[in-house]
Amino acid sequence: MKKIIFVLCSIFVFLYPIPYTLYPAYAFVNIGDIFGFGDIKSLGQGTNRLVLPIFSIAAFLVILYFLLGAFKYLKAGGNKEEVEGGRQMITHAIVGFAFLMLSFMILQFLLSRLFGITNFQLIQFP
């Protein structure tokens, strides 16, 4: 009996939101009028302004980690443990860079689809 109730509740929880996703919701709220954000008029514009500093800081940290790994690799002098540690740092930095690029591409897709920002770019021109 408990299994049947659990299955029915699970089906209800997973299938209940489906009809609400089929109808578009057009609820534009100008947050610049309601809250004191200055010239930021929507959540999409605010997100767009945060992306550039966040990606700049993340890119700087990936490059710094890569350089520290390279320095550790060069400084190892034949010590196998330090050579392996430097190699792992370099590998982690390369994976971090790939993750950063993938997250940028995903974020660019989400910003264009969810918030309607079509001119999203990493470098903002004045």
103-121 per-position pLDDT tens digit = 888 877 776 777 666 665 5
State both tokens at 89. 């740092």
Q: Which residues contact 122 (CB under 8 A, 6 or more apart)?
A: 51, 52, 55, 104
pLDDT of 63 reads: 95
58 or 122, higher pLDDT: 58
Return d(Cα 100, Cα 59) in angstroms, integer.
Answer: 8
Domain layout of the chain by residue ranges = 2-114
Query: What radius of gyration, in Å, describes the C-alpha atoms of the chain?
Result: 23
pLDDT of 62 reads: 95
Q: Model's pTM, two decimal places?
A: 0.59
Return d(Cα 45, Cα 35) in angstroms, integer.
Answer: 14
Task: Give the best-scoring range by mean pLDDT among 8-12, 28-32, 50-54, 68-72.
Answer: 68-72
